[in-house]
Amino acid sequence: MAALKVGEEVTASLLARLRRIEGQVRGLQRMLEEGRDCAEVAQQVAATRAALDRVAMDLIAAGLEQCVRLELEGKPHAQGALRKLQKTLLMLR
């Protein structure tokens, strides 16, 4: 089965989002070091987790788009790629 890879535009978007998430994580570290309110820190943890979930969903969406394209082109490995994405999606729950 051929590996599913995202295009350059999707990669650039995801990398930008991951860099923002990296900043959020550094902010969380700073909040803890400053002794900020635990509810406030937890809220930011939830926001960071949601941002990471969005990265994963965008990756899976890009992969599904590729699977559909492969299926329309009659490529034999389209079904295997789709099953791999389904397992990945279930792993994220």
pLDDT tens, residue by residue, 15-32? 999 999 999 999 999 999
Please check whether residue 58 is in contact with residue 89, taking contact to mean a CB–CB distance below 8 angstroms: no
Query: Are 6 and 14 within 8 A, CB to CB?
Result: yes
The residue segments making up the domain with residue 87 are 8-91
Please list the alpha-helical segments (H only) found in the chain.
Answer: 8-33, 38-72, 78-91
Give tens-digit pLDDT for 47-92. 999 999 999 999 988 888 888 877 778 887 778 888 888 888 888 8
Please give the tally of structural domains in the chain.
Answer: 1
Instruction: Please indicate, yes or no, if residue 1 is contained in any of the structural domains.
Output: no
Domain-located, residue 28: yes
pLDDT at 68: 81
Residue 14 near residue 52 (C-beta atoms within 8 A): no
| CATH assignment of the domain containing 70 | 1.20.58.1000
